[in-house]
Structure 1
Amino acid sequence: MTALPKIDANRLWVDIMTMGAIGETPGGGSFRPALSDADREARNLFRHWAHEAGLTVTVDAIGNMFARREGSDPSLPPLMIGSHLDTQMPGGKFDGVLGVLAGIATVRALNEANVTTKRAIEIANFTNEEGARFQPGVMGSGVFAGLLPLDQALKCRDDAGTVLGDELARIGYAGSLPVGGRPVHTYLELHIEQGPELEKAGAMIAAVSNSSWGCSGFIDIHGENGHSQTAAMSKRRNSLVAAARLILEIEAIGADNEPEGMVSATVIRNWPNNRVNIPHLSKLSYVAVHTTEEGRARIIERIEAASQRIAEETGLTIDATTSHYRQRVDLSPELSGQVMQVASQLGYASMLLPTLTSHDALSMHHLCQTAIIFVPCRDGISHSEKEWCDPEQVTAGARVLLDMAVMIANDS
């Protein structure tokens, strides 16, 4: 008699810790920016584990990796399970990694139980989800879903001027497979919540109902060069001073919008950035998010008004632009309901939650029905070396993912 597939919890935990050791930081996190040497090592390890599990690995032209377990009916579009292996700078051991390695654990469970599914199952490692080194983020899945042109993505540069396409080739992951253009039946992504709601509710599993409204802002502040030791204080046109005032304004706007919305200045660049010159150019970036489109618009309006007021008060020129708009996505209610039903059958308390952050699943939603499964992370912390998910939480998410995969991969 065929055994029921069962997640090997110990192996999955060891795999996550092993992957986390690639680019490990002194604070216990991981530093694997997209297309870095550490990212190449992580990709190589994923490829090795996939081959070990009997999977066929292919790589497309943006570097997305797909590890495929064949189904009994080749005519059916595959079930795809995935996330990403790149991290923030630094990041934690679970963001993205959990979704990819739980996919491997799912396939191992099916192999061990000698279960053949009708549909093929593909495990995806999408390129540059984080957007920490190359912008925009959620890139590999965005190109796969037709939301971002391949040529545009390949031409992106990091802060050092390095071209993304060149780095793909350098690390050996400029694949020959066309990007996207093929059917996918369903996409499942297991992820840490990156927020505190599951912990507060005492629940183990969340099914994601929808995403939020987001955007990025870019502010250029133009002052005037001068000698920092001789220019009269009353004559100085210091762009960095205006930037400091605007940073505080943006933070206050974010505080006013919590918990429905949030915004902070996250990047500052300054020229000429030496001790003996008064800065003549400062560039700020911020990321805003809100549960409503109107709320996002109000955040942008307030930041633009603050920029104009500070420009008038300082006599400097401040240019504010907004881009990388992210619209709300409503995920499949049917799949969300199935996630919660499976969680209940496994004995886990569950709930519906929105996501404030972006995920590869939100790109894949444009191609197929999609579900995101959340498990708790300690104190809701992510994008940090302090990011943590307990072994029982990892196992719970993987068990729900496995049961969802068996159900969907055997759906005609």
Structure 2
Amino acid sequence: MTASLPPIDAERLWSDLMTMGAIGETAGGGSFRPALSDADREARALFRFWARQAGLTVTTDAIGNIFARREGTDPNLPPVVIGSHLDTQMPGGKFDGVLGVLAGLAVVRALNEGDIRTRHAIEIVDWTNEEGARFQPGVMGSAVFAGKLPLEEALSRVDPEGKVLGQELDRTGQAGAMPVGGRALHRYLELHIEQGPELESSGTDIAAVSRTSFMCSGYVTVNGENGHTQTTPMSARRNALTAAARLILAIDEIGAAEEPLGMVSASTITNWPNNRVNIPHRTELSYAVVHMEEDGRRRIMDRIEAAVRQIAQETGLEIDLQHRHFRDAFDFSPELRSAVRETADGLGLSSCELPTLTAHDALSMQELCPTALIFVPCRDGVSHSEREWAEPEHVAKGAEVLLYTAAREAGLA
């Protein structure tokens, strides 16, 4: 482990988390900051303020990703990037994504406190629209940065209210002048709550994430026929919502059969005309497939496709299904996983390796440079919820591991 460094200011980090969480705070104790909302703009402004307070140079690129840079002693070396996101689910909690950004600030403050220089620059990044709660797909800002999603395609995305992402970037002042991506990175480090129960149940402090899952998204459109709900005979109805309901239940049963290695549930639904006295003539729904094995993902897709065919045949309705946004599993850097665990051990913390079922910005960055995703426990494994919670001690331990890992990878001058 790198020589002794000044400690993380755990009280300041916790205060920052609670202060950021108050922006868009909900009655249930969570946060509501969809990407490029007014609340997200306020959170980003606070991050910029804190970053400049810490002596960092702040820039923003064309998709709205914010980079706060602490210069290294060798300007020719690519940076070590630490980050995650400040946008939340609708509603979400105070830790998902936010911990990774604010722990990065805590790392920089500790290095500043000790007047410690690094050879590589260190940059903290807030990626735009990681959650995908308002604009789809998620993990957007990092995907554009990594060249996985064209900028113009991302800028053209529309939210459920018909607002265009590029226009919302302009409205909120989040569109920057810097080009997106196209530059070398040395390492990418992301600290995150586990979003699962393993660390808490085992009493383990830290996980170095070993592997990701196989993922895809499904989009279904059911076409029925409009009619009066109070006059059309039941036997003559072609109700799109009824067929969609049958499919939703089938999808849930398919997901339950694959647990714990995989899962799927329908998660969105839009219905037309959505009028109490009109039979729905069009219903759309979507779902996300995750599985630790490629064959498992294929099995889930095949079973859903079979259910679609059966329900279409039995109802006589047209049902269109598309599977998109495929992401294959990969292993994170063995070298960085070892570095994370060695660092934890040197700090007297327990550690393990865990896979992740969920998507993170680290999945995009893995294609650009060696990447580490670090987990800390969260209460009952709950996330994407107002009940999401991490204990102050776990937050501080994760930030300490992040500090020493970042210093090691950036190289002390």
Q: Which residue of 2 aligns with 1:54?
A: 55
Q: Which residue of 2 aligns with 1:314?
A: 315
The 5-angstrom pairing of residues 3-402 of structure 1 reads 4-402=5-403
C-alpha distance in 2, partners of 1:201/1:257?
23
8 Å contact 1:268–1:285 — kept in the other structure? yes
C-alpha distance in 2, partners of 1:326/1:195?
20
Deviation by residue 1:365-412 (Cα, 9 ceiling, x = unmatched): 111000000001100000000000000000010000000011111079
Alpha-carbon deviation of 1:210? Answer: 1.1
C-alpha distance in 2, partners of 1:288/1:108?
40
Deviation by residue 1:307-338 (Cα, 9 ceiling, x = unmatched): 11011111111111100111112110110011
3-state SS of 2:265 partner: strand
Alpha-carbon deviation of 1:161? Answer: 1.1
C-alpha distance in 2, partners of 1:156/1:232?
41
C-alpha distance in 2, partners of 1:180/1:268?
34
Deviation by residue 1:167-214 (Cα, 9 ceiling, x = unmatched): 111111110001011110000000000011111221010000111000
8 Å contact 1:3–1:114 — kept in the other structure? no
Deviation by residue 1:324-367 (Cα, 9 ceiling, x = unmatched): 11111211011001101111111111110011001111101111
C-alpha distance in 2, partners of 1:116/1:295?
47
8 Å contact 1:3–1:113 — kept in the other structure? no
C-alpha distance in 1, partners of 2:380/2:240?
37
Q: Paired residues, what number? A: 411
Alpha-carbon deviation of 1:227? Answer: 0.5
C-alpha distance in 1, partners of 2:6/2:190?
19
Unmatched 5+ residue regions in structure 1? none
3-state SS of 1:394 partner: helix
Matching residue's letter, 1:326:
R
For the aligned residues, what is the CA RMSD? Answer: 1.1
C-alpha distance in 2, partners of 1:135/1:64?
16
Deviation by residue 1:214-246 (Cα, 9 ceiling, x = unmatched): 010011111111110011111111111111111
C-alpha distance in 2, partners of 1:384/1:155?
28
Matching residue's letter, 2:230:
Q
Q: Which moved more, 1:159-168 or 1:93-102?
A: 159-168
C-alpha distance in 1, partners of 2:4/2:344?
21
C-alpha distance in 1, partners of 2:285/2:59?
39
C-alpha distance in 1, partners of 2:235/2:72?
74
Q: Which residue of 2 aligns with 1:405?
A: 406
Matching residue's letter, 2:24:
G
8 Å contact 1:7–1:105 — kept in the other structure? yes
C-alpha distance in 1, partners of 2:266/2:87?
23
Compute the TM-score of the two structures, normalised by the length of structure 1.
0.99
Task: Evaluate the alpha carbon distance shift between residue 331 and residue 411 of structure 1 in structure 2; reply closer, same or farther with a 3 A threshold.
Answer: farther
3-state SS of 1:363 partner: helix
Task: Evaluate the alpha carbon distance shift between residue 273 and residue 255 of structure 1 in structure 2; reply closer, same or farther with a 3 A threshold.
Answer: same
Compute the TM-score of the two structures, normalised by the length of structure 2.
0.98
3-state SS of 1:229 partner: coil
C-alpha distance in 1, partners of 2:4/2:233?
81
Matching residue's letter, 1:118:
R
Deviation by residue 1:228-271 (Cα, 9 ceiling, x = unmatched): 00111111111111111111100000100000000000001111
8 Å contact 2:255–2:263 — kept in the other structure? yes
C-alpha distance in 1, partners of 2:254/2:198?
23
Unmatched 5+ residue regions in structure 2? none
Alpha-carbon deviation of 1:4? Answer: 2.8
Deviation by residue 1:38-90 (Cα, 9 ceiling, x = unmatched): 00000000000000000000000000000000011111111000000000000
C-alpha distance in 2, partners of 1:350/1:4?
20
C-alpha distance in 2, partners of 1:267/1:336?
36
3-state SS of 1:132 partner: coil
C-alpha distance in 2, partners of 1:296/1:28?
35
C-alpha distance in 1, partners of 2:380/2:335?
30
C-alpha distance in 2, partners of 1:320/1:67?
42
3-state SS of 2:51 partner: helix
C-alpha distance in 2, partners of 1:380/1:162?
33
